[in-house]
Structure 1
Amino acid sequence: MPVLLYVLAVAVFAQGTSEFVLAGLVPGISADLGVPVAQAGWLTAGFAVGMVVGAPLTAALARRLSPRLTLTACLLVFVAAHVVGALTDQLAVLFAGRVVAALANAGFLAVALSIVTRIVPVDRQARALAAVLAGTTLALVAGVPAGALLGALWGWRSALWAIAGLATVALVAVAALTPRRPGPDGPRGDLRVELSTLRSPVLRHSLALGVLVNGATFCAFTYVAPVVTDAAGLAPVVVPAVLVLFGLGAFAGVTAAGRLAGTHGRLVLWVGTPALVAGWTLWATLAASPTAVWVLAPVQGALSFGVGGTLIARTMAAAHGAPTLGGSFPTVALNLGALLGPVLGGWALGPLGTTGPMVAGAALAAGAALLWAAPVLARRFVR
C-alpha cells in the first residue's frame, strides 16, 4: 500500500487520541480550572459537535483546493487549537479550542477518506480504508492510556502538548507525501451533483446503519467504568486495562473489516449486527461477573468496529459519485452516533441503573439489525 496511507493513519491516531482521551482528563481539568465536573464534561460534547459540522463544511469548502493544502491546513489548525488549549486558564477558551480542533479533525478525515478511494484500486479500497482507520482504534489501545498516564504524572496540559507534538510530526509527513491532486485531473464535479448522491437508497441505508451502530458503541463504551467498578466490583485501576482490551478488539475488528468488507461485506453485517445485540444484552445480564467483563470487552470492541468499518467501506462505495464530499458522509453519520449514544446511555442510567447504557446500546444495535434486514423482509412479504 502507498506509504501515504500509514502517514494518514498516524495523523488519525493523534486526532483519535484527542477525541477519546479527554474523558480521563475531565477531573483534572475541573480541579485546575475551578469548574464543576459537569461543565468540564461539556468539552466532550463540543468535540462531537465540531466533528459533525466540520466534515461536510471542510469538504465542501476545500473541494477545489489541493488535497495537500487542505490536509496540512487542517493539521495546522488542529495543532494550534491544542497549543491554545494547553496554555489557557479559561474553560470557554478550552471549549472553543475543542470545537475548532474537531472541525479540523473532521475535515482532515473527510478529505483523507476521499483521497484513499482515488489513489487505491477499487478491489483494495476496503483494506486501505481500514489501514487509515486503524489509527482510531490504536488511539483506544495506546493513545488514551498514554494520555491518561501523562495527565496523572504531569497534569492534563501535558497530554495536549503530546498530541500537538505528534500531530506536528504527521503534518510534516503529510505535507511531503500528499499529492497536489488525488487523481490525474482531480475532482471537478458540481457540488449539487455530489449532494444528489444522498438520494441513493443504499447510501442512506448505510448512513442510518452507521448512526445506530456507532450510537450503540458509544452508548455502552462511554459508561463502561461504572459497570466495571460498581456492577462487577473490580477496582478502579482495572478500568484502563478493560479499555485497552476493548481497543485491542476494535483494532482486530477494523483489520478484519478491511479484509472482508470488499468481498463479504453483506455477510459481515448479517452476522455482526445480531451478534452486537447479543453481546450488549449478555454484558448487561452478566454485568456482575468479572469474567464477563474480561471476555466481552474485546469481543464487543471487535464486533463494534468490525461492523462499523464495514459500513464505512459500504458508504464510500455507495458515494462514488461524490469524490470530494463522499468522505464526509460516514464521518457525519458516525459522529451523530457518538452524540446520540452517550445521551441515551446517560438517560438510561436513571431508570435502569448501572447497566442501563448496555441495555440502551443493545436496543440501538437491535434497531440496526432490523434496519439491515428490512429490505429483505419487505421484498419477502411483498411477494
Structure 2
Amino acid sequence: MAIPEEARALTRFQIALVILALACGGFGIGTGEFAIMGLLPDVARTFAVTTPEAGYVISAYALGVVIGAPLIAILGAKSSRRSLLLVLMSVFAAGNLASAVAPDFWSFTALRFLSGLPHGAYFGVSALVAASLVPVYMRARAVGYVMLGLTVATLAGTPVMALFGQYLSWRVLFFAVGGIGALTVTLIWLYLPRDRPAAGASVSRELIAFTHPQVLLTLTLAATGFGGMFSIFSYIAGTATEVALMPATMIPVIMVLFGVGMNVGNVVGSKLADMSLMGTIGGMLVFNVVVMTVFGLTAANPYLLCLSVFLIGCTFAAGPAVQTRLMDVAADGQTLAAASMHSAFNVANALGAWLGGLVIAYGYGYAATGYVGAILSFFGLFVFGASWLLEKRAAR
C-alpha cells in the first residue's frame, strides 16, 4: 500500500494539510478515549449502574483497540491507505454518534467496543502515510505531528468536553467526537491523494511482520515501557490528595501539567528521534526509570509532585520513536506492525493500572506506583538492550 509518486511530490502546504487532516482524527480519538473517564459518574446515573460498573465502557473501548488494530490491518491488507483511512474514520464517527443516543447501558458498552476497533489501525496507517510524505530524516517528526492530535486532546479536548459533559450531558461528548470524526473524513477525502495498494499486498505478507523478532521485541518494549506512565497517572488523583495533601481543586491543574508534558515530549522526542532513533528510545527509558523513582520518593511534596507529573508526561517522547522503529523493522508487514503499536499501548494501559492498583491494595501506598513505573521501564530497558544486541549481531 504505497503512496504514489504524485503524492510524494506534494508541496509543503499540501503535506501540512494532509498531516492536519490526520491529526484531526487523532484529536477526536484522544478526546473520546480520555474525556469519558471524568464523566463516568454521569454515565452511571443515566443508566442506573454503579460507577465501577460504568468503567466497563472504558475496558470495552480498550478491548476494541487491542482486537481491532491487528484484525483491521490484516483485513485491509489489499486496500489503499486512503480508502482504509476513510473507512476507519467513518466507522469511528458512526460509533460515537450512535454512542450518544444509546438507549441502555449494554448497547452503550457494545458501541464503545465498536468505536475502539478503528483506533489502532487509524494511527498506524496515518503514521505510515505521514512518514511517506517527507524525507527520511523527517519521518519521526511527521509521525509526531500526527500524534500531536492525541496529545493536544489530553490538554484541550478532554477538559473542555468533560466540562460540557458535566454541565449539559455526557452525550454531548460523543456528539462532538462523532462530528470531529466526520470532519476528518471530509479533510482526508479532500487533501489525501488517491493511492493504489502495493504490488503483492496480501494477508500473509502482513502476517510476516510477526515472524520478525525485532517487531515482537519493539511491541514488548512499548507494552512495558509505557506501562509505567499509566501505573502512576491512573492513581494520580489519590496521590495528590492523600499523599501530597493537596486540595481536590488542584487535580485539574495536575491534569493540565501532564498534558503539557505529553505535548512537549511529543515535539521534542520526535526531533530527537530523527537524529538518533535508538538513542532516543534507550535514553527515554533511562529517563523514565529516574523520573518515576523520584516521583515515588518525593510524592509527599506538592511542588515536587507537580514537577514529576510534568516530567512523566514528557516520557511520551518515546512514542514517535517507537512507532518509527516499528516501520523500520516490519519489512513488508508495516501496516500490521504500525497498527499493533496502539494495541501494545493499550496493553501498557491495562498492565500499568493493574500493577499500580495492586501495590496500593497491598498497603504500599499511592507513592509506590512510581516504583512500579520504574520497574516496568527498567524491564523495557532490558528488552531494548536485547533488541539492540540482536541488531548489532545481525549487522556483523
**Length-normalised TM-score, structure 2:** 0.89
Q: 2:241, 2:299 → 1: CA distance?
A: 10
Q: 1:289, 1:46 → 2: CA distance?
A: 36
Q: Does 1:189 align with 2:173?
A: no
Out of 345, 353, 357, the residue aligned to residue 346 of structure 1 is 357
Q: 2:88, 2:137 → 1: CA distance?
A: 29
The alpha carbon displacement at 1:107 in A equals 2.8
Residues 321-360 of structure 1 correspond to what in structure 2 (within 5 A)? 321-351=332-362, 352-360=364-372
Q: 1:210, 1:135 → 2: CA distance?
A: 20
Deviations, residues 45-93 of structure 1 (Å, cap 9, x unaligned): 1111111111111111122223333222222221221122111231111
Q: Does 1:69 align with 2:88?
A: no
Which AA in structure 1 matches 2:348? G
SS of residue in 2 equivalent to 1:4: helix
SS of residue in 2 equivalent to 1:152: helix
Contact residue 326 and residue 334 of structure 2 kept, 8 A: no
The alpha carbon displacement at 1:123 in A equals 2.1
Which AA in structure 2 matches 1:7? A
Out of 326, 329, 334, the residue aligned to residue 315 of structure 1 is 326
Out of 30, 35, 56, the residue aligned to residue 42 of structure 1 is 56
Q: Does 1:31 align with 2:42?
A: no
**Length-normalised TM-score, structure 1:** 0.92
Which AA in structure 2 matches 1:225? A
Out of 359, 373, 383, the residue aligned to residue 385 of structure 2 is 373
CA gap of 1:364–1:17, structure 2 versus 1, over 3 A, is same
Task: Give unmatched runs, 5+ long, in structure 2.
Answer: 1-11
CA gap of 1:28–1:267, structure 2 versus 1, over 3 A, is same
- Residue of structure 1 in register with 2:317 after alignment: 306
CA gap of 1:4–1:256, structure 2 versus 1, over 3 A, is same
Q: 1:266, 1:66 → 2: CA distance?
A: 30
Q: 1:171, 1:141 → 2: CA distance?
A: 23
Of residues 161-170 and 30-39 in structure 1, the stretch that sits farther from structure 2 once superposed is 161-170
Deviations, residues 85-135 of structure 1 (Å, cap 9, x unaligned): 111231111111111000022232232223233333322211110110111
SS of residue in 1 equivalent to 2:200: coil
Q: 1:361, 1:150 → 2: CA distance?
A: 33
- Residue of structure 1 in register with 2:143 after alignment: 129
Of residues 267-276 and 145-154 in structure 1, the stretch that sits farther from structure 2 once superposed is 267-276
CA gap of 1:365–1:65, structure 2 versus 1, over 3 A, is same
Residues 229-240 of structure 1 correspond to what in structure 2 (within 5 A)? 229-240=241-252
Which AA in structure 2 matches 1:151? G
CA gap of 1:108–1:378, structure 2 versus 1, over 3 A, is closer
Task: Give unmatched runs, 5+ long, in structure 1.
Answer: none
CA gap of 1:268–1:107, structure 2 versus 1, over 3 A, is closer
Residues 243-258 of structure 1 correspond to what in structure 2 (within 5 A)? 243-258=255-270
- Residue of structure 2 in register with 1:11 after alignment: 25
Contact residue 75 and residue 203 of structure 2 kept, 8 A: no
Which AA in structure 2 matches 1:40? A
**Once the two structures are aligned, what percentage of the paired residues are identical?**
27
- Residue of structure 2 in register with 1:202 after alignment: 214
Contact residue 67 and residue 178 of structure 1 kept, 8 A: no
Residues 98-113 of structure 1 correspond to what in structure 2 (within 5 A)? 98-113=112-127
Q: How well do the aligned residues superpose, as a CA RMSD in angstroms?
A: 2.1
CA gap of 1:90–1:229, structure 2 versus 1, over 3 A, is same
State the aligned residue count.
377
Q: 1:65, 1:190 → 2: CA distance?
A: 9
Which AA in structure 2 matches 1:150? F
Q: 2:128, 2:274 → 1: CA distance?
A: 17
Q: 1:329, 1:82 → 2: CA distance?
A: 22
- Residue of structure 2 in register with 1:217 after alignment: 229
The alpha carbon displacement at 1:198 in A equals 2.6
SS of residue in 2 equivalent to 1:324: helix
Contact residue 61 and residue 113 of structure 2 kept, 8 A: yes
Q: 1:95, 1:212 → 2: CA distance?
A: 27
Residues 44-63 of structure 1 correspond to what in structure 2 (within 5 A)? 44-63=58-77
CA gap of 1:77–1:263, structure 2 versus 1, over 3 A, is same
Q: 2:179, 2:296 → 1: CA distance?
A: 40
CA gap of 1:206–1:72, structure 2 versus 1, over 3 A, is same
SS of residue in 2 equivalent to 1:260: helix
Contact residue 122 and residue 339 of structure 2 kept, 8 A: no
The alpha carbon displacement at 1:163 in A equals 1.3
Q: 1:358, 1:98 → 2: CA distance?
A: 30
CA gap of 1:117–1:72, structure 2 versus 1, over 3 A, is same
Which AA in structure 2 matches 1:366? F
Deviations, residues 180-228 of structure 1 (Å, cap 9, x unaligned): 216xx63533332332233333322211111111211112111111111
Q: Does 1:297 align with 2:289?
A: no
Which AA in structure 1 matches 2:361? G
Q: 2:223, 2:256 → 1: CA distance?
A: 24
